[in-house]
Amino acid sequence: MSAKALAILVAAGRGERMGAGRPKAFLSLGGEPLLLKSARPFEAATSVGTIVAVVPATDEEAARQLLAPLRKIVAVVAGGERRQDSVLAGLRQAPAGFDGIVLVHDAARPFVKAALIDAVIDAAARTGAALPVLPLVDTLKRVREGRVVETLDRAELGAAQTPQGFRMDLLVDAYEQAFRDRVTLSDEAVAVERIGRPVAVVPGSALNRKITTPEDLAWAEEILASPRVGAGA
Ligand code: CTP
Ligand code: MG
pTM to 2 decimals?
0.96
82 touches ligand 1 (CB under 6 Å)? yes
**pLDDT tens-digit readout, 57-105:** 999 999 999 999 999 999 999 999 999 999 999 999 999 999 999 999 9
Residues 162 and 105: beta-carbon distance below 8 Å: yes
User: What is the Å distance from ligand 2's center to 1 Cα?
Assistant: 33
- Find the distance separating the first CA and the last CA of the chain, reported in whole Å: 28
For ligand 1, mutation pick of 106, 188, 216 (most atoms within 8 Å of CB) = 106
Q: Is 27 close to ligand 1, i.e. is its CB under 6 Å away?
A: no
C-alpha separations of 170 from 28, 104, 197, 233 in Å: 36, 14, 9, 32
Residues with CB under 5 A from ligand 2 (ion): 13
How confident is the model over 24-67, as pLDDT tens digits?
999 999 999 999 999 999 999 999 999 999 999 999 999 999 99
